[in-house]
Structure 1
Amino acid sequence: MENLDGDLREMQLDKWKSSGKTVDDIFKLLKLQDEGEDLVKAPLYDTWVSYVIKMDQKSPYNTILQKLMTRYDDESLTKALRAVDAKKLEKARIENWLSNGKTADDIADDIFTSLKLNTGENILMTKASTLNTWISNVELMKKPDELVISVLKKHYDDEALTNMITVAKKDYRTNGVASKLEKARTNTWISKGESADDVFKLLKLSKEGDELLRSATWRTWMSYLTKLDNENPDELMFSVLKKQYGDEGLAAIIEKGKRSDATETLAAKLQEEVWRSEGKSSDDVFTLLFGKIKDDEMFGMFERPEFSTWISYTTKLNNLNKFNPDELVVISALEKRFDGDIVKLARALQAAKTKAALNGNNTTKSIVHELQTQQFKKFKRSHIDPDQLAAQLNTKFDVSNVGVVLALIDFYKKKGSTVTHEVVD
């Protein structure tokens, strides 16, 4: 019999049903008993499945599964179902196992073994597709994340599993399944109530010494900290590291981290937490970084790396201020450093922006542009328009005067304000 499609097949199915044919009758009629292990790939297999669904609308996949189980052992059936992407049959098989007293953990482990994933090798790199199939099967049961990690931990310790995930995430071919495993493990830690300190120990990060920030497992731990405290994971990071390494050990980690482009950002975050733990204010850190800076040195500080450090710390303190945060906190703190002379600060910012543009220093240019925008917002709140600012600037000749006024005019126009000021050379 040929494999019929569409309306013709539906007519044939109705004819069999009206004549009282059972699913076993049609199985034999289609000679599917002769297909052996290629049954699920046989051209007429889909026709038989369609008839089963028509005849048994409540649990057709259990009926199909029972037939397949008489023709395949567990390992062969796993491979057969994988070949045809039969998720409904997989679910029926799992429900059958559970009803017969098998635990979910045993089922997950058995499927893992039947797919020959229990080799001890880096299956994320060598058998990613098969591993993905196994995860898809486990996802048909309750608490899949815990099941996945439970089975994997029988074959790999936390450190080995982390290394596997880290390597696999770097390859576009295995990134997807690696991310699934990472998410499953993180969710399992959360459900078990693992603390930041617990996971630090699980990952054996203490053995890294002052090379900690370069460790392959560091990112895994940091990702978990973000899950535990999305508002300020850096505080958690600091508290655990201080407990593990002490003040001197932590200082060594920070110092080493500052020497590398790859770790300097992390080192800076740790340093900020050290300052916070010591109760240092924005002013304290400014003095710590710049000392008693002279007036003529204030104009050159914007391009120094210490200035970015100070901005970051000042911003962090403000972000953690739940009662009275201020989006203009940095420019307000900077005004104090210029003794409240907003005109002098405006000239300094314009001069620094011009210099950065001429030197191609985009980092400094971006920083100063943001500060100038903050200052102009304060001007607008205080109703200082370009005419008023120009009058204050013109009390002293400076090459930056015109640039400041033009920048403020541009700011007002972008905010939809009408500006009538004319700049005269």
Structure 2
Amino acid sequence: MTRTTKTVMNAAIEKLTGLVKTGAMKINGNVNWRFLLTGEQPADEILKMFKLENGMKRALASPNLKLMKNYVQEVNTSNRNNKLSLIGIFTTHYGDDAVAKALVTMQSKLGWKSVDDVFTLLKFRKNGHLALASPKMEVLDDYMKLVIRTNSGDETLLQTLTKGFGGEEKLATLLVRAKEDPSTKELATALQNALVNKWIQTDKLQPENVFKKFRLDRGVEDALLDPNGHTLAAFISMYNARNPNSQTSLIGMFSARYGDDVVAETLVLARADRAKKPLATNLQQQQFQEWQKSKKSADDVFKLLKIQSQDFVALISPKLETVSEYIKALKATDPGDTSDLLTVVINGVGGDSALARAVASALKELNAHDPLAATLSTAAEYELMLFKRWRKGDINPNSIKSQFRVRDDAFVRRYRAYYDEKKALDNPTVITAINPLG
């Protein structure tokens, strides 16, 4: 235990001792003060210590309520956490229904105007998304039912949480996080559905309105990081179900805003980030499905992505990677599809000559600064694919410059070395042994 911790603990013990001496706390027998400050005692025992175990009505009227509140604060300060709460103690002992009824009584006595006061009292904001799994949620729900029945109110849980957590945008973000937690998933899903339903049915929002509401128009990369991309996806799903003649999609909105090429490139890069990968993978699948639905061939996609010679320089080229994966998607849905990556790329850049010059230029640039990067680059990968194609077609190294208008001597030397190596393997030298006795 550190000196600071000891000081805090001793100060707390001194306060508790004073409470016992004044009769505010009821302690029998020898006292283990340090154990009392762990907050591990059952709720029943804590209430007995402060003589608050004889009904919620009496407990709320007792001056000892403030003393127990101070005790809870001392426990949490001593343990540097906030695991103990007044509401939690009362709920465990009396049940959430009794606590809710008592809060209704407090409402009339203290002149509270709305359920929002109870939200603040229960300190939901401090718990974040875990508030949805807290016993305090049951208390709030029961309290609201009693208020509505008693005062003919029309406040809903969604409205209360929206106000309490600081608006629809903040609540929506919290619900996305809560849906990932098994302990809060069920309620979070129900609340998200209620929120989305309100936007469609009451607010008459369109997908574009929600897109802007969450500022998903500030850049596709930022949008992928934003948890409310999931909220918009949930909205679109419900919107499409209710508007079958006006279908839209999350990827369609991103593509319309930023362009297919920018979106495709961003999605490939985003998949390398664990936080972004689930949404990025899902969006890429949607993008492929949209392309297939509109009958786009691999050649069409190559043009759509606006691939340039500079795309061959990188270790991984997001755009060329997209073409490769789209071809796999085409073959998965149509085994008879004859798309071939190298053929698509050659057609896309304008023939063997154009591809040869593009990779030769990229490798020359890379070799001048980082030979290792050149070896691992996309250009090196496509150079090898090109060499294999030429060797299969029996293209002689001596005709490279004239046939493909390649002026890079290093490129020609690399092809000659590849060609000679493969030729030697195809035609191994046969050594005939001569019998000296023959």
- The answer to whether TM tops 0.5 is no
State the TM-score, normalized to the length of structure 1. Answer: 0.43
State the TM-score, normalized to the length of structure 2. Answer: 0.43
